[in-house]
Structure 1
Amino acid sequence: MKTPSDSQNNWDSLREKIIGLGDHSLRKTYYPELQQKLDDLQQSEERFRATFNQAAVGIALAGLDGRWLQINRKLCDTVGYTEEELKNLTFQDITHPDDLKVSLEWFHRVLAGEIRNYSIEKRYIHKNGSTVWINLTVSLVSESSGNHKYLIAVIEDITERKRTEEALRDAYNELDKRVAERTAELVKTITALQEEVADRITAEQALQAEMRERMRTMEELRRKDQMLMQQSRQAAMGEMIGNIAHQWRQPLNTIGLYIQGLLVPGECGEFSKEHLEAGVNKAMQVIFHMSQTIDDFRNFFRPDKEMTLFRVDEVVAKTVSLVEGSYRCQQIKVEVKTKGEPLINGYPNEYSQVLLNILINARDAFLEKKIADARVELRVFTEKGKAVVTITDNAGGIPAGILDRIFDPYFTTKGPDKGTGVGLYMSKTIIEKNMNGRLTARNTGNGAEFRIEV
């Protein structure tokens, strides 16, 4: 088998024969075509050698048995062997064991004529034992007769590219791992959030159910308060009827006396128009007073629709006038002491009802305990920016065991025919809930004191 080295030797022999013909000018004169071919051959040879030895990739000629025939400098640098060392080896000797089977399969396919060339990525074992990745391109050179001569191999070192690819692959795997971990964390977080949302929905539904129950309870309490207020007003109305009776008894007696007095001058023969007019005027004054009393009672039962600014001393005076008849009948003395002109922005009729409930309770306590010198004192004044009214009696006070219960609904110490137990409860509701004030009670030396602050 001929190799490039054999061809080179033939050309060298031919050149020596041509040179033996004489000097260059002689050869050029007598054998110009032959000399031109010789010159072209030399230039081609120089270009081939320069390309072969200075190529940026490894180039080699290999025999059909895999032995290295000719190797350039780049291939030697790539695998770490000298040219002489490589010529004593085959490509199988420096191929990585894991890549040898595939390399031989391609090699045999070329030799079998199945393909003319092939290109693969494979690994060589460097002289120092390290791995070198290469891109190998192999072409088969054959004679015109079809006989295979040798193989041309181009070897490109791709170790750095492979390292970069491996680093990228490792980075991708690490990224994929982190994404998987993060995805798992997110799934866990989403699951926890879904559970939390479900818990919140359940809690919200429970809260809504509780709110509905509270609203129902509040509505029930409102209805009960309205019922208690109605009962309180009905009880107060009963008291008012009694007070009206007391208020009207004396004026009616007075009117009767005036009418009887009109007859006396007639019996004596001294009847005159002046006497009649005087008696009528006196009776009309009494009737006007009674009519005024009716207006006072009617105003008391008229509900307040809006908060208004009112003078406390005026409401106290009007309320005392409503009970003065019954108090006078039971010989209870009432004294009102006013300092300044305290004002309240609230509901005057409801405020009057509170005062009336307390005054009626005081009257009943006097009647029950048969107090001889019964007295009630009302003080009206201002303290720390608040309008204050105190109602003090000398009826012996409230038993200590029930003092903290007197404002409870339906609690009463009176008989079933004298009390409903809602008067003081409604009084506290009016002052503290409707007017943002405070109603308290305490015992004094010989009686009880109720204090209203608004």
Structure 2
Amino acid sequence: MNRERILAVLYDLAMVIGGEVNLRPLLTKTLQRLLYHTSFPAGAVFLDVSPQNGSGKVTATIELAIGDYELAGHAGETLVLPAALFSGAISLEQDRSLIDALPCHRGAYSVLLKLPIDGNGVVVLLSPAEPLSDLPLTQVFQPVMANLAKAILLCRRNEAYTKAIISDRDRAESGLKRFHAALNATADSVFLIDPFLMHFVDFNLSAETSSGYARAELLSLGLQDLLPAYPRDQLEHLFGTLLRGESSIFDLDTTLRRKDGSEYQAALRFNLFSHAAEQLVITMVRDVSEYKRLENELRLLNENLERRVEEEVAKNREKDHLLIQQSRLAAMGEMVHNIAHQWRQPLNALSLILTNIKDDFDYQQITPETLDRDVRKARSLLQGMSTTIDDFRDFFRPDREPGDFELGHAVEDALFVMAASLKNNDIEVVRDLPGGMLINGFSNQLAQVVLNVLANAKEAIQLGNVPAGRIGITLVRDGSNGVLSIEDNAGGIPGDVLPRIFDPYFTTKEQGSGIGLYMSKMIIERNFKGRIKAANTADGALITITIPLLETASPSTKEQQP
């Protein structure tokens, strides 16, 4: 083969490789020219080679295939192939293992021309027999493959750069569309104004709607057309302060005129900015007519607000006094009811003692010793009844000043008052009241809250005819709070009633006042800065009271104190 023929082939391939900046056309045209110059009928280009841990195999992607439908059908796929197909120099192979490893029709080819691309991949040319070519196939294409490797690298860099540019452009266009959409969606009017001519350059849809002008009409107008009552020299002075940098923002409250001649109050904000070496003033216009109307109404309302507040405070104070009085009456009724339960047993005992004295007298069996014994028993019972009165009186006597007290002790005080009533109704009380939880306030107020909850639980058990009534009381520490839970097994609170049980005057009892739980809620929230809530469980109702605890020194801290 003469030198001119080789140079012509190399020149042709160099022009193809050097004339493309995108990978796909580069590979397509290069493979086409190689097939043409070598007379091979089919070929493929494999790239992105990755070895597989010394197994003699590599993974590679078929970027392009020409002349073989089966090979072309695998374009874009990543295959596992022999490493020998990609290593070494350019060679003409008749190794069946290499040919059969390719995804083409078996037996269709017996000759393979391997053209490695400097570690980037390989060009494989296939033929059923060795073609009759006057080219030194294993020698002439060495510089071509080196140039192809560089061209592939450059094409990929170019495509990545182009992709980045397109992505940036798309993001910019998307952002611009999003900005315009947001600008047109805002209720405020936005104008771009030429600060020298004071004509409108651009604006959003709200500007057209609020002014009543069509876009073409607004573009032929200026700011002065919407502000006929505002002197032009003052507008020029305003824009001058912006242009000279004396102010970056200027606000103006004025009246604007629509196309139909109607007027509305508006707040305008002017701001100078530069765009493409052009100075423009962006003007935000907000219709404040409704705001001004409401402001005027608010001013009128405020003129009489103090008097109305005083009247409402007086009414609320009267209501509070009434609630407190009703709560006291309810508490006194509860006290009398519980005293009756406490006295029932000693009164029965006194009745038996008097009966015994009479019987002894009737049967002439009374003696000074038996009389003295019965009198001592009677006096003991009377002393116990008197003590009960004192205990109940102490419970309901208001504390003069708040103080620190054990949360569990206040619960025990309430249980003491209810003990006889609960026992007489066969209601079991299960309690778990650990100590060490100090709170500050009026202890009898908290005891009154617990008493209200216990009384409601007792009545619910009675009304529900629960055969084995039970009330569970637990006290636990939750961080800096003490949590008191009181649960009964009376079946729970109806769903339509549950959200309203803490409302004033709301009751489901025939003789109920509807103030017990309301006052309990007020005491917990106002006096103890806590919260009370109600919920239903599987067996009944659960009342949870959460109260902030006082900080107490740890044992180690106490030992360090003098």
Residues 278/318 of structure 1: CA separation in 2 closer, same or farther (3 Å cut): farther
Moved more, 303-312 or 365-374: 303-312
Could you tell me which of 360, 371, 379 is aligned with 2:474?
379
Partner of 2:386: 291
| Candidates 337, 347, 357, aligned match of 2:452 | 357
Describe the SS at the equivalent of 1:432.
helix
Q: Is the 8 A contact 2:350 2:381 kept in 1?
A: yes
* More displaced 10-residue stretch of structure 1: 430-439 or 341-350: 341-350
After superposition, the Cα gap between the structure-2 partners of 1:297 and 1:268, relative to the gap in structure 1 and judged at 3 Å, is same
Which residue, 386, 389, 395 being the options, matches 1:300? 395
Opposite residue 438 of structure 2, the aligned amino acid is L
Aligned pairs (5 A) from 1:202-281: 206-207=301-302, 209-263=304-358, 271-281=366-376
Q: How many angstroms does 1:201 deviate by? A: 11
Instruction: Give the secondary structure class of the aligned counterpart of 2:496.
Output: helix
In structure 1, give the amino acid aligned to 2:441: G
Report the equivalent of 1:344: 439
Pair 200,409 (structure 1): closer, same or farther in 2 beyond 3 Å: closer
Counterpart among 436, 442, 446 of residue 529 in structure 2: 436
> CA 1:345–1:327 in structure 2 vs 1: closer, same or farther (change >3 Å)?
same
| Alignment partner of 1:366 out of 419, 440, 461 | 461
**Secondary structure of 1:452's match?**
strand
Aligned length: 269
8 Å contact kept, 2:432–2:473: yes
Taking CA–CA contacts closer than 8 Å with sequence separation of 6 or more, which of the two structures ends up with the larger relative contact order?
1
Identity %: 41
Question: Which residue identity is paired with 1:224?
Answer: K
Q: Which residue of 2 aligns with 1:422?
A: 515
CA positional deviation for 1:408: 0.7
Q: Distance in 2 between matches of 1:360 and 1:288?
A: 27
TM-score, with normalisation over the residues of structure 1?
A: 0.52
Q: How does 1:33-432 map to 2 (within 5 A)?
A: 206-207=301-302, 209-263=304-358, 271-415=366-510, 418-432=511-525
**Which residues of structure 2 form unaligned runs of 5+?**
1-236, 239-252, 254-293, 548-562
Deviation at 1:376, TM superposition (A): 0.9
- Separation in 1 of the partners of 2:523 and 2:431? 23
The structure having more radius of gyration, on CA atoms, is 1
Aligned counterpart, 1:448: 541
Relative to structure 1, is the Cα distance of residues 272 and 344 closer, same or farther in structure 2, using a 3 angstrom cutoff?
farther
Once the two structures are TM-superposed, the CA of residue 285 in structure 1 deviates from its matched residue by: 2.4
C-alpha distance in 1, partners of 2:504/2:421?
A: 26
Contact 1:397–1:447 under 8 Å retained in 2: yes
Shift of residue 358, structure 1, vs aligned partner: 1.0
Q: Which residue of 1 aligns with 2:187?
A: none
Distance 1:445 1:200, change over 3 A: closer
The Cα of 1:264 is off from its aligned counterpart by 5.4
Q: Name the amino acid aligned to 1:359.
A: L
How far 1:294 moved relative to its partner? 1.2
Inter-partner Cα distance in structure 1 for 2:386 and 2:415: 17
Unaligned ranges ≥5, structure 1: 1-180, 183-191, 193-198
Q: Distance in 2 between matches of 1:287 and 1:296?
A: 14
Mapped contact 2:408–2:434 kept (Cα < 8 A): no
Letter in 2 for 1:420: S
Residue deviations 1:176-222, cap 9 Å, x none?
xxxxx99xxxxxxxxx9xxxxxx999977854632442343233223
Distance 2:493 2:437 in 1: 29
Residues 221 and 270 of structure 1, relative CA distance in 2, 3 Å threshold: same
Q: Greater strand percent: which structure? A: 2
Q: Distance in 1 between matches of 2:472 and 2:433?
A: 11
* TM norm structure 2: 0.43
Q: Look up the SS of the partner of 1:401 in the other structure.
A: coil
The one-letter amino acid paired with 1:404 is P
Letter in 1 for 2:371: L
Q: Quick check: 1:442–1:448 contact (8 Å CA) kept in 2?
A: yes
Counterpart contact for 2:395–2:413, Cα < 8 Å: no
Q: Which amino acid aligns with 2:480?
A: G
Q: Alignment RMSD, CA only?
A: 3.6
- Tell me how far apart the structure 1 counterparts of residues 312 and 382 of structure 2 sit (CA, whole Å): 50
- Structure 1 pair 200/441, CA: closer, same or farther in 2 (3 Å)? closer
Question: In 2, distance between residues paired with 1:403 and 1:201?
Answer: 43
Q: Which has the higher helix share?
A: 1
Question: Displacement, 1:270?
Answer: 5.8
Does the C-alpha gap of structure 1 residues 275 and 319 become closer, same or farther in structure 2, counting only changes over 3 Å?
same
Output the amino acid matched with 1:446: D
Question: Given that residues 481 and 546 in structure 2 are in contact (C-alpha distance below 8 angstroms), is that contact kept between their aligned partners in structure 1?
Answer: yes
Structure 1 position 388, deviation (Å): 2.7
Cα deviation per residue 1:342-366 (whole Å; 9 max; x = unaligned)?
Answer: 2221112221221111111111111
Structure 1 pair 379/289, CA: closer, same or farther in 2 (3 Å)?
farther
Q: Assess if the C-alpha contact under 8 Å between 1:310 and 1:348 holds in 2.
A: yes
Task: State the SS of the aligned residue for 1:400.
Answer: coil
C-alpha distance in 1 between matches for 2:527 and 2:334: 24
Distance across 1 between alignment mates of 2:370 and 2:329:
45
Which residue type is aligned with residue 386 of structure 1? N
**d(CA) in 2 for partners of 1:424 and 1:213?**
30
In structure 2, do the counterparts of structure 1 residues 280 and 222 end up closer, same or farther at CA, with 3 Å as the change threshold?
Answer: same
Structure-2 change in CA distance of 1:216 and 1:293 (3 Å): same
Larger displacement relative to structure 2 (441-450 or 287-296) = 287-296
Inter-CA distance 211–384: structure 2 relative to 1 (3 Å threshold):
farther
Decide whether the 8 Å contact of 2:406 with 2:435 is kept in 1.
no
Distance change >3 Å, CA 305–CA 211, structure 1 → 2: farther
Distance in 2 of aligned mates of 1:453 and 1:208: 42
C-alpha distance in 2, partners of 1:424/1:436?
Answer: 16
